[in-house]
Amino acid sequence: MIFINDFKSESEELRSAMVNATKRVIDSGWYVLGKELISFEEQWAKTCGVKHAIGVGNGMDAIEIALRSLGITQGDEVITTTMTAFATVLAIYRAGATPVLADIDPATALLSPESVERCISNKTKAVLLVHLYGQVRNMSSWVDLCNKRSIYLIEDCAQAHLAKYQGKFAGSFGQAGAYSFYPTKNLGALGDAGMLLTNDKFIEEKSRCLRNYGQSKRYHHPELGLNSRLDEMQASILMERIKWLEGFTQRRKEIAHAYQVGINHPLINMLKEPETSDSHVYHLFVITCTEREAFMSHMKAQEIQTLIHYPIVIHQQEPCRAAKQDPQGLAYSEQHAATCVSLPCHPQMSDKEIETVINTVNSF
C-alpha cells in the first residue's frame, strides 16, 4: 500500500537519533519548560527569520494565544477561509472572537482577497491567513490590504514549514505566525506541539504568560491563561527532526514536480503551480476531480491511499451553520470541498512508488 504518510519507513538513523534525544531528556530529570524547549524555540525563530518563538501545546493553541496576545476578544471579528482545518476557526471561537468566513480563489484554494474585502466591517480586527497545503502566495498584497485597513495579519502556518515568499518565511509577514508540529505536518513531533512566531516583544511576553496559566512570575496570574506548553520530550524530538526538514521538503517538491509533469488525464485538474520553487512545500498534493468517488475507489483498488482535505467546509459544520460569511456566498469553497483529493506525497516515497501513483492516476 502507498500511504499518505508512512512514518514506519523512516530511516534507522532518524529513529535512533530520536531515541537518543528522549534518553537525553529522561537523564536530565527536567520535563517541562526547560533547555530543550529553549533550544528549539531559538532554532525555529532563527530558521524562520523572526525574533521570538514561543513553544505551545499545539497549532490551535498557537492561534488562540496569538489572537489573545493581540487583545482580540468578544465582539471582535476575525476573517478567515471556510476551506481549512476546523482548528483554525475553533481557535477564533476559543479566543472569544467572531469568525467571519470568506471564500477561496478556485485556482489555488487559498483565501480570496476580493471575498475578504466583502467581509470587512467596523468590527474586523484581523485576517487569519491559512497557507493551505503548504502554499505561500501574494504576501505583499495581504500585508498591504491589512495595513491599509488597519487590521492585524495573523498567519496559520500549520501546513507551510519552510515555505518562502520573496525570500521571507511563512509566519514572518504578519504580527504573528502560528505553527503546528502535529506528527503528520512537514515538521512533526511524536505527539502534539505548536509554536507562535512574532517580532513583537509585547506579543512575545504576553504569549509566554498565556501559555502558562496566565502567569507573569511564579504564582502571579494577571491573566486567565491556558495550560499549553511544548514539553521537553517533544522539543528534543523536534530538534532532531528539524535536521531532516530541508531534505524532506526537497523530496516533497520532487514528487510534486513528477506529478505535475506526469499526470495527464481529462478528468484530473491540478491547482495553479507556485510562482517560485520556494513558495510551496507540498504538505499536501491536491488535485480536483468531478468523479471523485470513482477516482478514489480506482486508486484504492491499486493499493494507493487518497484522502480529502477537506470534505466539509466550515460553514457546513454543525456549530458554524450560523457563522457570518461573505454576503456573496462561499460557492468556490463548496465546489472545492466536493471535488478535492490528496495524493500521497511524503518524503519516504520511492521513485517506483511515484511512478505507480502517476500511472494509476492516468489509467483512471
Ligand X SMILES: Cc1ncc(COP(=O)(O)O)c(C=O)c1O
Cβ-proximal residue to ligand X, closest one: 59
Residue (159 or 172) nearer to ligand X, CB = 159
Distance CA 287, CA 270 (A): 5
Q: Cα–Cα distance between 115 and 104 in angstroms, integer?
A: 8
Long-range contacts of 201-208 (CB under 8 A, 24+ apart): 201/51, 201/52, 202/69, 203/52, 203/66, 203/69, 203/70, 203/175, 203/176, 204/51, 204/52, 204/54, 206/68, 206/69, 207/54, 207/56, 207/65, 207/66, 207/68, 207/69, 208/54
DSSP class of 209: H
* Closer residue to ligand X (CB): 75 or 311: 311
Is residue 127 involved in binding ligand X (CB under 6 A)?
no
Cα dihedral value 32, 34, 35, 37, nearest 10: 60
Which residues between 81 and 120 bind ligand X (CB under 6 A)? 84-85, 87-88
Positions 137 through 166 that interact with ligand X (CB under 6 A)? 156, 158-159
Told to check if 171 binds ligand X by CB under 6 A, we report no
The nearer residue to ligand X, 91 or 263, going by C-beta atoms, is 91
- Give the shortest CB-360-to-ligand X separation in angstroms: 26
CB of 175 to ligand X, least distance (A): 17
Looking only at residues 53 through 82 of this chain, which bind ligand X when binding is defined by CB under 6 A? 58-60
Residue 19 is which amino acid? V
In this structure, what are the phi and psi dihedrals at residue 2, rounded to the nearest 5 degrees? -100, 115
Question: Segment 178-207, which members bind ligand X (CB under 6 A)?
Answer: 180, 182, 192, 194
Please give the Cα distance from 164 to 170 (Å, whole number): 6
Chosen residue from 116, 129, 130, 343 binding ligand X by CB under 6 A: 130
Q: Which helix (H) or strand (E) holds 179?
A: strand 176-180
Q: 21 or 90, CB closer to ligand X?
A: 90
* Nearest residue (CB) to ligand X, 195 versus 299: 195
Q: Which is nearer to ligand X, 274 or 361 (by Cβ)?
A: 274
Shortest reach from residue 220's CB to ligand X, in Å: 28
Positions that interact with ligand X (CB under 6 A): 58-60, 84-85, 87-88, 130, 156, 158-159, 180, 182, 192, 194
